Amino acid sequence: MTGRTRLSAGPGPIAWAAYLLLVLLCLPVLVLAFLLLVGVLTGGGGASLVGLVVAAAFCGVVVLLGARLYQRAWWLEGTVLVQRRVGRNRRCDLSTAWVSVESVSPSPLALTSALPRLVAWHDGEEPIRLWLRDPDRRRALLPALELAALAQAITYGREDDPRFHPIAGGLHALATDPFAV
């Protein structure tokens, strides 16, 4: 297997546009307004330092949000699943990795129904988790070609190993008839 296939998971162009709008337009205005409000309420003095610290913390949250959005991109390079990370991308060869599927709520408080997520890992490494129904895109299922590519990468070189047939078979079934699963 060769080639690179970008997987349609993670934030789309609208999410990135909203984030850039927040960073470029809203954030400076909010920080300035907050600093002015603190200065007016306290009459200047040492409290403006508190306002500066709170504004810096708010900016830090926005930067962390951007880093989290940045890490929500995956692609296949042959049989290797790659997750974009800040600093260094994470890689997992699906043809040699342990692979499973879990059902998890994307909300930390479990306020929404569970969605399927592919989990791939090598012994001693942190697993890579890929949503099969993307919570960032209104629970849209990955396109059929991408699901089939994942299934093919999982079974590549180990077609006779029955432990991986249910997962690859489930991905193929989802790709051919998403309403049956």
Q: 144-176: per-residue pLDDT in tens?
A: 999 999 998 998 887 776 666 788 888 988 888
Contacts of 80 (CB under 8 A, 6+ apart): 91, 92, 93, 94, 153
Amino acid at 118: L
Which pair of tokens denotes residue 143?
A: 């396109």
Q: What are the pLDDT digits (tens) for 100-134?
A: 999 888 777 666 788 889 999 999 999 999 989 87
Give the residue among 84, 76, 101 at the shortest CA–CA distance from 156: 76
Cβ–Cβ < 8 Å for 176, 144: yes
Q: How far is CA 133 from the centre of its chain?
A: 12
Mean pLDDT for 68-94 is: 87
Q: Strand, coil or helix: what is 5? A: strand
Residue 93: per-residue pLDDT: 95
Angle between helices 47-70 and 27-42 (to 10 degrees): 160
**CA–CA dist 14, 158 (Å, integer):** 39
Task: Using a cut of 0.85, tell me whether the model's pTM lies above it.
Answer: no
Cβ–Cβ < 8 Å for 101, 117: yes
Q: Give the C-alpha distances (Å, rounded to integers) separating 170 from 48, 100, 135.
A: 58, 11, 20
